[in-house]
A and B are shown apart, each in its own frame.
Chain A
Amino acid sequence: MALPISASSASSGSQSALSESTFLSRVRRLTVDGKRAGEGYWSPDGKRLVFQSERDPANPFYQIFVLDFATGDTKRISPGVGKTTCAFFRPGSSEIMFGSTHLDPKSKQYQDEELAFRASGKERRYAWDYDPEMDIFAVDEKTGTTKRLTTARGYDAEGGYSPDGQWIVFSSMRDAYNRTLSAAEQKQLELDASYFAEVYIMKADGSGQTRLTDWPGYDGGTFFTKDGKIVWRHFEENGLVANVWTMNPDGSDKKQLTDFGAMSWAPYEHPSGEYFVFASNKLGFENFEVFMVDKAGAKEPVRITYTAGFDGLPVPSPDGTQMAFTSARGGGAGSAGQIYLAQWNHEAAMAALKAAGPRQTPKR
């Protein structure tokens, strides 16, 4: 295929020559059951997908499910009680980790309250609440046993295993609860707890928890790269601008890869190791689209999705030929967001990145 890209296309803004079909084909909705679903992450062999979904009539919150592509079957692997989020397969093991509030004795009460609210027919804007009782757990699919990996008060979640399965990088808001806050900080906590979220690393058994970031603004969406670095998203203090960053697992060499002056988040590495895919609302506050940026962040990111409604949380398959993402493009009952799957054109992605101009700095 000859790609309709000119050398100057990225900087001249004539990227309209590119379209979603340049990169994505056979786009289709993967999850249809339940009110919403998202955060689909592949098993290392690419045969399964773990994701969160609101599909249990008795629990209005996310639970974790594993979908088997060979049989089409889906099974819940989280406890069923409380809220869960951000699951991840542990390479070389039968463990899956996820964040969960099921040990909170009030979990059932919250479920019932939320169900009553929904039954009342009232609507409110969907918002993730950064439950301070959220901790990270790992369930062993073979034995069915669940072990707790974090215990600190404050939201612990948004983690990923290292390629060798020995380490976990994650996000924690414990900094808001383990010390006395100033009056200004206390006000900030009531306004938006995510301000306190920082990146942490620990061994896969939960030992050796170490903090890697120490600055204002929400740090999260953390994953390891193939070459053992960490990619994540850092929010500026104002909570509106976020960018994709990388660093070493000891916290050194922090590098900013994007600079849209918008909310750029949910980075994930393509298995080629050549680029990251991520979501950004560069084109309008409510209009998230998927973009990609080269590994070094040297070039201007390239837009991937062109469909109305939320598109985000892109995760390429381990063989690099497919991409799972979360989208509200289905409208109707799916407008709350569901997982989509598409064929991914890596060659077109490489060509478009090559043709992109140097990274621009936004006017502020």
Chain B
Amino acid sequence: MTNTKHVVVAMAAACLVASTPVFSQTATSSRTRTHVETLASDKFEGRLTGSPGEKLAADYIISELKRMGARPLPGLTDFRLPFTFTAGSKDGGTTLAITKAGSAPQLFSGATTVQALSFSDSAETSGAIVMAGYGLVVPESQNFGYDSYAGLDVKDKIVVVFRYFPEDADQQTRAILARYADLRYKAQAARQRGAKGMLVVTGPRSPNAGAVVPMSFDTAIAGSGLVAASISSEAFAPIMAASGKSLEAVQKEFDSGNPHVAGFAIPDVTVTLKANVIRQQQTGNNVVGYLPATAPLTGVNKPWVAVGAHYDHLGRGTTGGSLAGKDEANQIHHGADDNASGSATVLAIGDAFSQQPRKRHLLLAFWSGEELGLLGSNAFVTKPPFPLEQMSAYLNFDMVGRVAGNKLTVQATGTSAMWPRLLEQANIAAGFDLVLQEDPYQPTDVGSFNTASVACLTFFTGAHQEYHKPSDTADKINYEDLVRVGELASGVVRRLMDSADVPQFTKVEQKTETGGRAGLRLFTGTIPDYASDVKGLLLGGVIGGGPAEQAGLAKGDVIIEIAGQSITNIYDYTYALELLKIGEPAKVVYMRGSDKRETTLTPSARK
């Protein structure tokens, strides 16, 4: 599962003919354990996409598919479906030359002085300079009226913008502007107004003052159509000098958040920005096979039923996504729950159906690149090996090995009116305390299928202390209940296979605006429990040594108020986080059991 989130909708009911799935408990149970222990073993080195460990894991899965009699997809000879991705970007030596009228150019280079943004084009551009404040544009649909480019001519110019968003604006303004403060979003706004390049400077009144933006991990295969770099205050000084103003004074004006504070052209100076971004291309491998229908498919509507899970994980956690503490940095991230558990479940479903009659084809998919941003499943739905209209449904399994208190969360149930009834039927035998969530905008491969308008579900047993840490190991898996997840899913698959009716796809509206993800620069050290339905924010854990732990918060606490904002769900919480300021204590009200408590949490800067 990757680190993101989102919501919602309505539904109806439908009727399906049911029969009882056959699932041999003991054989499945020991095999499931073997699958998890193998995939999560040191030998597979955390299964980083494109790594030797990923290849070994793929080999193991393929041998299992062959054992149960699955085949490569029709027309293909290999179970592997490769896809290309950017495994990382680095700066190959970006330079900035500043030329004042009548003087020799001043040249800046070096990683702490000028560094390309990860999504920059690798190209050279020159032009006059326009200071565009924070470079923020709030879409008109928001009825907010904030456009850093209002009245500015930036065509063929190079814009300079501050990082983040106005420091002194009131809470509501900050909350709105924060959503458009992502640097990618700022670059897009500059490009749309005709700018050739963008320079980012971290203002003296902001956290990380004067520093360049670290090169972030970015999986985009190409650049954003703009030459963009961040520069240190030292490199910015000659430009500022040409304007005759002090950087601090200029920032202070923009910091008010007043939309009428205008940007300005800086006279008598031109710059030449030469960005050099090296994108390292790599290949990842989805592993996909199928069990063909055992009866003729004539007259069968949508002849494919699909189950899938990602089998990749974080490797040693060096490319982002790791929550490892300092003491365990660079160790193998075993990913037993995330997502050897889901992979083992897909194998178990395949095993069960390999022995049974099948009125439809059963697709068995093992995605790679999920932890890097759903890359494998996206590649699959973008160029599907058969038309996706033929897929009656897709069931996804991501982190299903930690059943606690008999609870199982099923998400994306809003994608078809048929799901609640079908899950209820299948669960009578499986016996889980089910929690249904309609939202398909989940940080796992189900999102790719929802985008492709395939009725889908994803199964999840909740976040935990070991999430994205080396300690997510096979010994912590609840195998007995993991097997039951497979039983429940097999019950759903059985009904999908046998039914003349297929689930009708329903589009669920996305609740939150997705213009640029909030420039979340704040670190609280809380780990929300995304599977929870409690009122407030249930903490699945806190990061060791982080602000939350220092504030005395612990796993199981439910935050109900932060900085005066009442919290009823994860969205309230992320919204409220945008209002916090680094280093400024915020009051937190929380429930520990039935005890209402209060503490003070001081967010630190996310590096």
Cβ of B434 and Cβ of A72 under 8 Å apart? no
Beyond A57-B12, A72-B429, whether A32 also contacts B434 by CB under 8 A is: yes
- Size category, B interface: 20 to 34
B428 CB–A CB distance under 8 Å: yes
CA distance A330 to B424 in the complex (A): 14
B20 CB–A CB distance under 8 Å: yes
- Which residues of chain B are within 8 angstroms of A32 by Cβ–Cβ distance? 420, 423-424, 427, 434, 436
Beyond A72-B427, A74-B424, A74-B425, whether A56 also contacts B432 by CB under 8 A is: no
Cβ of A33 and Cβ of B433 under 8 Å apart? no
Cβ of A28 and Cβ of B432 under 8 Å apart? yes
A29 CB–B CB distance under 8 Å: yes
Question: Of A28, A56, A69, A334, which one neighbours B13 at CB under 8 angstroms?
Answer: A56
**Residue of A27, A29, A72 most packed against chain B (CB within 10 A):** A72
- Which residues of chain A are within 8 angstroms of B433 by Cβ–Cβ distance? 27-29, 330, 340
- A55 — nearest CB in chain B belongs to which residue? B13
CA distance A346 to B301 in the complex (A): 50
Cβ of B437 and Cβ of A26 under 8 Å apart? no
Cβ of A28 and Cβ of B491 under 8 Å apart? no
Beyond A330-B435, A331-B533, whether A26 also contacts B13 by CB under 8 A is: no
- Which residues of chain A are within 8 angstroms of B426 by Cβ–Cβ distance? 72
Cβ of A71 and Cβ of B20 under 8 Å apart? yes
A34 CB–B CB distance under 8 Å: yes
CA distance A33 to B416 in the complex (A): 12
16 additional A-B residue pairs with CB within 8 Å, beyond A32-B434, A33-B420: A26-B406, A27-B406, A27-B433, A28-B434, A29-B433, A32-B423, A32-B427, A55-B13, A55-B421, A67-B428, A71-B428, A331-B533, A331-B534, A332-B435, A332-B533, A333-B436
Against A, the Cβ 8 Å flags (1 = close, 0 = not) of B400-439 are: 0000001000000000010011011111110111111110
- Which residues of chain A are within 8 angstroms of B428 by Cβ–Cβ distance? 30, 67, 69, 71-72
Beyond A56-B13, A74-B424, A333-B438, whether A26 also contacts B431 by CB under 8 A is: yes
Cβ of A28 and Cβ of B406 under 8 Å apart? yes
- Which residues of chain B are within 8 angstroms of A73 by Cβ–Cβ distance? 18, 425
Shortest Cβ gap from B419 to chain A (Å): 9
A31 CB–B CB distance under 8 Å: yes
Cβ of B431 and Cβ of A33 under 8 Å apart? no
Against B, the Cβ 8 Å flags (1 = close, 0 = not) of A24-53 are: 001111111110000000000000000000
Against A, the Cβ 8 Å flags (1 = close, 0 = not) of B485-502 are: 000000100000000000
Cβ of A332 and Cβ of B491 under 8 Å apart? no
A contacts, CB < 8 Å to B: 26-34, 55-57, 67, 69-74, 330-334, 340
CB-contacts of B420-463 with A (<8 A): 420-421, 423-429, 431-438
Cβ of A330 and Cβ of B533 under 8 Å apart? yes
- Which residues of chain B are within 8 angstroms of A71 by Cβ–Cβ distance? 18-20, 425, 428
- A57 — nearest CB in chain B belongs to which residue? B12
Shortest Cβ gap from B115 to chain A (Å): 45
- Which residues of chain A are within 8 angstroms of B437 by Cβ–Cβ distance? 332
CA distance A34 to B20 in the complex (A): 23
B606 CB–A CB distance under 8 Å: no
18 of the cross-chain contacts (CB-CB < 8 Å) are: A26-B406, A28-B427, A28-B433, A30-B428, A32-B424, A33-B13, A55-B420, A70-B20, A71-B18, A71-B425, A72-B424, A72-B426, A72-B491, A330-B433, A331-B535, A333-B438, A334-B436, A340-B433
CA distance A33 to B410 in the complex (A): 13
- Which residues of chain A are within 8 angstroms of B434 by Cβ–Cβ distance? 28-29, 32
- Which residues of chain A are within 8 angstroms of B427 by Cβ–Cβ distance? 28, 32, 72
CA distance A132 to B60 in the complex (A): 67
Shortest Cβ gap from B585 to chain A (Å): 31
Cβ of A33 and Cβ of B491 under 8 Å apart? no
- B437 — nearest CB in chain A belongs to which residue? A332
Shortest Cβ gap from A73 to chain B (Å): 5
Cβ of A72 and Cβ of B425 under 8 Å apart? yes
- Which residues of chain B are within 8 angstroms of A30 by Cβ–Cβ distance? 424, 428
CA distance A341 to B435 in the complex (A): 14
- A341 — nearest CB in chain B belongs to which residue? B431
- B420 — nearest CB in chain A belongs to which residue? A33
CA distance A136 to B425 in the complex (A): 29
Shortest Cβ gap from B538 to chain A (Å): 11
Cβ of B438 and Cβ of A31 under 8 Å apart? no
Cβ of A31 and Cβ of B431 under 8 Å apart? no
CA distance A56 to B436 in the complex (A): 18
Shortest Cβ gap from A324 to chain B (Å): 12
CA distance A72 to B421 in the complex (A): 10
Shortest Cβ gap from A94 to chain B (Å): 22
Shortest Cβ gap from B105 to chain A (Å): 62
CA distance A330 to B20 in the complex (A): 27
Against A, the Cβ 8 Å flags (1 = close, 0 = not) of B566-592 are: 000000000000000000000000000
- Which residues of chain B are within 8 angstroms of A332 by Cβ–Cβ distance? 435-437, 533
CA distance A330 to B531 in the complex (A): 12
Against A, the Cβ 8 Å flags (1 = close, 0 = not) of B465-491 are: 000000000000000000000000001
CA distance A303 to B588 in the complex (A): 34
- Which residues of chain B are within 8 angstroms of A33 by Cβ–Cβ distance? 13, 420-421, 423-424
- B407 — nearest CB in chain A belongs to which residue? A28
CA distance A332 to B406 in the complex (A): 18
CA distance A332 to B427 in the complex (A): 19
Shortest Cβ gap from B410 to chain A (Å): 9
Shortest Cβ gap from A174 to chain B (Å): 35
Question: Of A27, A34, A72, A331, which one neighbours B420 at CB under 8 angstroms?
Answer: A34
- Which residues of chain A are within 8 angstroms of B20 by Cβ–Cβ distance? 70-72
Cβ of B533 and Cβ of A31 under 8 Å apart? no
CA distance A74 to B495 in the complex (A): 14
Shortest Cβ gap from A201 to chain B (Å): 35
Shortest Cβ gap from B7 to chain A (Å): 12
Shortest Cβ gap from A236 to chain B (Å): 30
CA distance A57 to B13 in the complex (A): 7
Cβ of A72 and Cβ of B18 under 8 Å apart? yes
CA distance A28 to B430 in the complex (A): 10
CA distance A169 to B286 in the complex (A): 64
CB-contacts of B492-542 with A (<8 A): 533-535
CA distance A324 to B575 in the complex (A): 40
CA distance A330 to B18 in the complex (A): 26
CA distance A345 to B18 in the complex (A): 32
- Which residues of chain A are within 8 angstroms of B535 by Cβ–Cβ distance? 331
Against A, the Cβ 8 Å flags (1 = close, 0 = not) of B554-565 are: 000000000000
- Which residues of chain B are within 8 angstroms of A69 by Cβ–Cβ distance? 428
Shortest Cβ gap from A42 to chain B (Å): 14
Shortest Cβ gap from A265 to chain B (Å): 25
- Which residues of chain A are within 8 angstroms of B11 by Cβ–Cβ distance? 57
- A58 — nearest CB in chain B belongs to which residue? B12
Shortest Cβ gap from A261 to chain B (Å): 23
- A37 — nearest CB in chain B belongs to which residue? B424
Shortest Cβ gap from A343 to chain B (Å): 10
Shortest Cβ gap from A258 to chain B (Å): 25
- B535 — nearest CB in chain A belongs to which residue? A331
- Which residues of chain B are within 8 angstroms of A56 by Cβ–Cβ distance? 13
Against A, the Cβ 8 Å flags (1 = close, 0 = not) of B12-32 are: 110000111000000000000
CA distance A327 to B439 in the complex (A): 23
- Which residues of chain B are within 8 angstroms of A27 by Cβ–Cβ distance? 406, 433
- Which residues of chain A are within 8 angstroms of B429 by Cβ–Cβ distance? 72
Shortest Cβ gap from A211 to chain B (Å): 40
- Which residues of chain A are within 8 angstroms of B423 by Cβ–Cβ distance? 32-33
- Which residues of chain B are within 8 angstroms of A29 by Cβ–Cβ distance? 433-435
- B417 — nearest CB in chain A belongs to which residue? A57
- Across chains A and B, which 9 residue pairs bring their CB atoms closest together, nearest first? A72-B428, A57-B12, A28-B433, A33-B420, A72-B425, A332-B533, A331-B533, A33-B421, A32-B424
Shortest Cβ gap from A145 to chain B (Å): 22
- Which residues of chain B are within 8 angstroms of A31 by Cβ–Cβ distance? 424
Shortest Cβ gap from B13 to chain A (Å): 5
